Structure 1
Amino acid sequence: MIPAPFEYVAPSSVDEAVQALAAAGEDAKVLAGGQSLLPVLRMRLAAPTTLVDLRKVAEMRGVREDGGDLVIGAMTTHYDVQRDPLVAEHAALIKAATDTVADPQVRHRGTFGGAIAHADPAGDLAAPVLAMEASLVIAGPGGRRTVAAADFFQDFFTTALAPDELLVEVRLPKHTGWRAHYEKFTRVAQAWSMVAVAATVRTEGGVIEEAHVALTNMGSTPVRAVAVEQALVGASANADVIRAAAAHAADGTNPAADGNSDIEYRQHLARVLTGRALTAAVGA
């Protein structure tokens, strides 16, 4: 199908992009990598009056260190995130999750920030960002503001972004030396997750000092598995501890039933996949 007509704007800076959004009003759409937006436009499930293309905004690309944070520009492609040595060193969970995103073609075009701002509850990057307790930097007409990942995701495909705002970068506290794993279950290869688990763990002397676990597709937003984390911290990193902690993975979750599974099956998957993710992360 052919998209409905729209005005096209290709700014070269964040300020120009914000101005374009403000001028266009609430019917504008932002084009990052386009892997989610373009199919929607072609099916006319969205008909924006203006499309603001961010491909020329160089300041929104790249990975850098800033003190205790690793900063990933929103327009950095999945491919570049996968291969960046700083990500591998300081944010192993992000690399592990990005490795599972779709296929090589999508990873070459899709962007880190675009996937996060899309806020699909089955997407692969929201839960890792939540697990790492990231801060998201947003630019708008009033300047820049920072929102915690826990407050950024609000509902199905809904975030803290206003219509005239952009996600500029994601700031991740460095998890240098932490072990991490992203465990994903799909019905077919390269599909959206039925359930996935993002786990990042810091151990010392065989004891789990810190553990962050978040779940994909177990609610309308990514969910922290708080009961699992509490059961792990201070315990020995062994199979029995992991098994007991993983049994709490579905506590407090509210997954949707759909054509892929019912609620009980998704909760079962959450427990099984959490056990697998933690086992891989700590090497138990």
Structure 2
Amino acid sequence: MIPAPFDYAAPATVEEALGLLAEHGDEAKVLAGGQSLLPVLRMRLNAPELVVDISGIASLKGITDTGDAVRIGAATTYQEVLDSDLVSEHLGLLHKAVSEVADPQIRHRGTVCGALAHADPAGDVGAPVLALDAQMVIQGPGGERTVPGSEFFTDLFETAVGEGELLTAVVIPKHTGWGSHYEKFVRVSHQWAIIGIAATVRAEGGVIAEAKVGMTNMGAKPLRAAGVEAALAGQPATEEAIAEICARAGEGTEPPSDLNGQAGYRRHLAGVLTRRAVLAAAGA
């Protein structure tokens, strides 16, 4: 389908973008890479009066080392994340998850922050970013604020970004030396995840010192498998110990039921895929 008519603006600064959002309110939508917004417009699920394209704002581009963390600007594409030595060295889990996003064409246009702002629970970046204890940087008329990942996703397609605000960056603590793996289950290549498990593990002397596990499409928003994380700490990095704990990963979750599988099927898959992801991340 062809989108409904809309006006287009390409501000040069964040302040200009915020001014346009303040002026147009709910009738304005933000575009970064467009891989989430454009399909919505083409299906006429939304018909804004104004599309505010932030992809040309220089301050929103790039990946920077902040010391203990890596900052990824809102206009940074998936491919730039994949090409970054900073990301591959310090954020292995994010690097592996982004490599599973769609196809090269989309990865050269879409952005990590755009996907986070869209907040699709089946998207590939929400779970790893949540598992890596990221901080989201949000800017609005009142200035800049930082929201922890645990508070950023509020409901289905909803986040802590308020009216008239922009997600300008995600800041992710370095996990240098941690093992990582993203296990994505799909029926066909490049599909949205039926479910996915993002696991990163710090092992010492054959023992799991710390584990972090994010879950894709196991509820209305990305989730942490907190019970599994706590149970894995201090356990030997062996298949037997890991399998018993990870089998419970789906407990307490409310995954969707659809043509790809019922909720019970997804809960079972969560246990299987969590075991695989943690074993791979632990090098077991």
Deviation at 1:31, TM superposition (A): 0.5
Take 2:22 and 2:270, find their aligned partners in 1: how far apart are those partners? 41
What residue in structure 2 maps to residue 58 of structure 1?
Answer: 58
Question: Number of residues paired by the alignment?
Answer: 284
Deviation at 1:69, TM superposition (A): 1.0
Take 2:37 and 2:92, find their aligned partners in 1: how far apart are those partners? 28
Take 2:206 and 2:58, find their aligned partners in 1: how far apart are those partners? 44
Runs of 4+ in structure 1 off by over 3 angstroms are: none
> Equivalent residues in 2 for 1:42-57 (5 A)?
42-57=42-57
Take 1:243 and 1:124, find their aligned partners in 2: how far apart are those partners? 24
What residue in structure 1 maps to residue 205 of structure 2?
Answer: 205
> Any unmatched runs of 5+ in structure 1?
none
What residue in structure 2 maps to residue 235 of structure 1?
Answer: 235
Deviation at 1:279, TM superposition (A): 1.1
Take 1:236 and 1:74, find their aligned partners in 2: how far apart are those partners? 39
Can you list the C-alpha shifts for 1:53-76, whole angstroms capped at 9, x where unaligned? 012101111111112111111111
> Equivalent residues in 2 for 1:186-205 (5 A)?
186-205=186-205
What residue in structure 1 maps to residue 115 of structure 2?
Answer: 115
Take 1:214 and 1:241, find their aligned partners in 2: how far apart are those partners? 19
What amino acid sits opposite 1:190 in the alignment?
H
Take 1:236 and 1:43, find their aligned partners in 2: how far apart are those partners? 50
Secondary structure (helix, strand or coil) at the match of 1:154 reads strand
Aligned: 1:141 with 2:141? yes
Instruction: Check whether the contact 1:229–1:245 (CA below 8 A) recurs between aligned residues.
Output: no
Instruction: Check whether the contact 1:90–1:174 (CA below 8 A) recurs between aligned residues.
Output: yes
Q: TM-score, normalised by structure 1?
A: 0.98
Deviation at 1:153, TM superposition (A): 0.4
Take 2:270 and 2:222, find their aligned partners in 1: how far apart are those partners? 12
Take 1:68 and 1:251, find their aligned partners in 2: how far apart are those partners? 34
Take 1:2 and 1:193, find their aligned partners in 2: how far apart are those partners? 27
Take 1:39 and 1:17, find their aligned partners in 2: how far apart are those partners? 22
Take 1:252 and 1:210, find their aligned partners in 2: how far apart are those partners? 22
> Equivalent residues in 2 for 1:88-167 (5 A)?
88-167=88-167
What amino acid sits opposite 1:4 in the alignment?
A
What residue in structure 2 maps to residue 20 of structure 1?
Answer: 20
What residue in structure 2 maps to residue 260 of structure 1?
Answer: 260
Can you list the C-alpha shifts for 1:44-99, whole angstroms capped at 9, x where unaligned? 11000111001210111111111211111111100010110000111000000000
Instruction: Check whether the contact 1:29–1:51 (CA below 8 A) recurs between aligned residues.
Output: yes
Take 1:43 and 1:257, find their aligned partners in 2: how far apart are those partners? 23
Greater shift after overlay, 118-127 or 62-71?
A: 62-71
What residue in structure 1 maps to residue 273 of structure 2?
Answer: 273
Instruction: Check whether the contact 1:28–1:163 (CA below 8 A) recurs between aligned residues.
Output: no
Q: TM-score, normalised by structure 2?
A: 0.98
Aligned: 1:78 with 2:72? no
Secondary structure (helix, strand or coil) at the match of 1:196 reads strand
Secondary structure (helix, strand or coil) at the match of 2:265 reads helix
Can you list the C-alpha shifts for 1:110-144, whole angstroms capped at 9, x where unaligned? 01110111100000000001000100000101100
> Any unmatched runs of 5+ in structure 2?
none
Deviation at 1:163, TM superposition (A): 2.4
Take 1:140 and 1:221, find their aligned partners in 2: how far apart are those partners? 24
Take 2:2 and 2:88, find their aligned partners in 1: how far apart are those partners? 40
Take 1:136 and 1:193, find their aligned partners in 2: how far apart are those partners? 23
Take 2:52 and 2:203, find their aligned partners in 1: how far apart are those partners? 45
Take 2:167 and 2:46, find their aligned partners in 1: how far apart are those partners? 20
